[in-house]
Amino acid sequence: MRRALALAILAALGATAPARASVNQLSLFMDDNRLLYRGDEVGTHTMEELAGLGVDAVRVSVHWRAIAPAHRAARKPASLRDERDPRQYPPGAFASLDRVVRDARRLGLDVLFNVTGGAPLWATGRRDGRHVSLQYKPDARAFGRFVEMLGRRFPTVAMWSLWNEPNQGALLQPQWQNGRPYSPWLYRRLARAGIAALQRSGHAEDRILIGETAPLGSDRQGIRASIRPALFLRELLCLDGAGQGCDFALRGPLQVSGYAHHPYSITWPPDTPGPAPDDIMLGDRDKLTQLIDRAAEAGRLPRDLPVWWTEYGWQTNPPDPLRGVSPADQARWIGQAERQTYEDSRSAALTQFLLRDDEPRHDARPGSARYWGTYQSGLEYADGTRKPAYDAYRLPLTAPGAVSAGAPLTLWGRVRPARPGEDVEVQLEFAPQGSQQYAPIGDAVQVTGTRGVFEETLTASRTGSYRFRWLGSPLRTRATAGYVSAAVPVVVAGG
């Protein structure tokens, strides 16, 4: 291969970056199982591993029912006289969250608290005089008191999001009532209560997100029938004559810092649009921003609201034979998604969902849908063995899948762990088709800029695979030399 014809280093704040580049995009990560539920040793080790991968912040779930006392009781316990007072909650309920915050601070990471349900039963609605579930009509005022308590208890946490996937029937109910969407109205009340609570507890200047919507829904109507996200947003923000209980004229816009969404592409590449008009996958970015911009024009949201992609990933086969993509596709698409969102000025964060695969449900019939009903979207298999995605996440690399011989071939990559002021060098490498013997392409590339992004254009000549090697850093306490990206195959027609 001939030496690069052009080299463009994307500086984090520089004028050479593409006009739409989201040069401050955060690398977020979510793995509640390992960060919260497997004990202090696993949680701390996981946080250290994420820091080594170059993660900027972790997103953790803060379940109302997991902290509230007597959450299965029909009546609030008498001991909980003031739900806003952290001292009236069981001290042990905060232990894992305290450790996450402490470890993150030590490692220089931020924490996003996703405050969500289910609610304690005593704070839910009734149907025909009986409680239905921990997700049914949670009391917005009680939720606000709970969020205010968290704000007082965790004064150093500066990123918050309110509820999780409110357009999903498993997480908020009812989705529909009397033939009309109900969960958007219910969620608007929860969001307003949460925003006001954070403002009261000293977090008015924090980054506060709403949404956390799931990418897909259904066309059915019912208590648990999930609503497609675009329909949910139109109802939530009272667009196109939709929505009930619209209170924007009386109460003003939702004062938030961003809109959070889970744009899972399921089994498709990241630029694929959703299968239905009201679905929103990562390839539907413009559909989402158009909705929130229309809401801003109508005075219902702040203008130019950034989008936070707060869950994303692909399940792999192996191990999941029902919903998994190949490990090679997972690795390649991680790089494509990174570039796709990085070059979008509205993208504030992209979140990888899971470091390590969940175990299947061993109490279910092996191979059944319930057996594989857990998540296998990790960068590692359940036994800790790394997938190709591990290297692809730490050092994302993209290239076109096919080009003509003699045509320009642009490689885009990122050294995710790079930090401001750090000397970063990478060496591009190439292996011909059918070979695993990689040879350097030209000289090492000096990567300038605080986010470790580089772009280099070569002349295509032969079919084969590209990768790059991070040549190490004098600022690191342990050697990084030898870290390589996952391989990216390119077919060269006529070469």
Please give the residue range of the domain that contains residue 441: 399-493
Whole-angstrom Cα distance, residue 136 to residue 350?
A: 30
| Position 198 in a domain | yes
Q: Does 298 share its domain with 321?
A: yes
* CATH number of the CATH domain containing 202: 3.20.20.80
Q: For residues 366 and 441, state if they share a domain.
A: no
From 60-74, 210-224, 437-451, the region with the lowest mean pLDDT:
437-451
Residue 183 has pLDDT above 90, yes or no: yes
Instruction: Supply the mean pLDDT for the chain.
Output: 93
The overall pTM is greater than 0.85: yes
pLDDT tens digits along 265-307: 999 999 999 999 999 999 999 999 999 999 999 999 999 999 9
In Å, the largest CA–CA distance within the chain is 78
The pLDDT value given to residue 13: 28
From 358, 380, 395, the end of a domain falls on: 395
Express each pLDDT in 156-173 by its tens digit: 999 999 999 999 999 999
Q: Which of 374, 395, 416 is at the close of a domain? A: 395
Q: Which residues pair with 413 in a beta bridge?
A: 397, 454
Q: Are 216 and 274 in contact (CB under 8 A)?
A: yes
pLDDT tops 60 at residue 343: yes
Domain-located, residue 7: no
170 occurs within a structural domain: yes
* Residue 143 is assigned to a structural domain of this protein: yes
Q: What is the DSSP letter of 126?
A: E
Pick the more confident residue, 15 or 479: 479
Are 368 and 467 in a shared domain? no
Characterize the bridge pairing of strands 402-404 and 453-459: unpaired
CB 248 within 8 A of CB 238: yes
User: Could you tell me if 390 and 407 lie in one domain?
Assistant: no
Answer yes or no: is pLDDT of 3 > 70.
no
pLDDT band at 495 (very low <50, low <70, confident <90, very high): confident
CATH code where residue 411 lies: 2.60.40.730
Same domain for 435 and 349: no
Whether residue 477 has pLDDT greater than 60: no
**Which residues are within 8 A (CB) of 83 and not within 5 positions of it... i.e. 6 or more apart?**
76, 142, 145, 146, 149
239-253, 331-345, 414-428: which range is least confident on average? 414-428
Higher pLDDT, 3 or 391: 391
Q: Are residues 311 and 262 part of one domain?
A: yes
pLDDT at 327 over 60: yes
Q: Which residue has the tokens 């009509």?
A: 137
Strand pairing class (307-309; 258-261): parallel
443 with 383, same domain: the answer is no
Domains identified in the chain, total number: 2
Q: Looking at the structure, do residues 229 and 357 belong to the same domain, yes or no? A: yes
Domain check: are 437 and 418 in the same one? yes
- State mean pLDDT over 140-152: 98
pLDDT at res. 419: 82
Whether the pLDDT of residue 487 is over 90: the answer is yes
Is 70 exceeded by the pLDDT of residue 25? yes
Residue 480 pLDDT class (50, 70, 90 cuts): low
> pLDDT at residue 23 above 80?
no
3 within some domain: no
For residues 175 and 143, state if they share a domain.
yes
Tell whether 260 and 316 lie within a shared domain.
yes
- pLDDT at position 66 over 60: yes
Please tell me the predicted confidence (pLDDT) of residue 145: 98
Best CA proximity match to 376, nearest among 314, 334, 330, 331: 314
Residues 367 and 431 in one domain: no
Q: Is residue 2 part of a domain?
A: no
pLDDT at 53 over 80: yes
Q: Looking at residues 328-337, what average pLDDT do you find?
A: 97
**Residue 209 maps to a domain:** yes
Residue type at 280 in one-letter notation: I
In a domain, 13, yes or no: no
Q: Percentage of the chain with pLDDT > 70?
A: 93
Last residue within a domain, chosen from 395, 421, 436: 395
Q: How many helices (H) and strands (E) does the chain have?
A: 11, 23
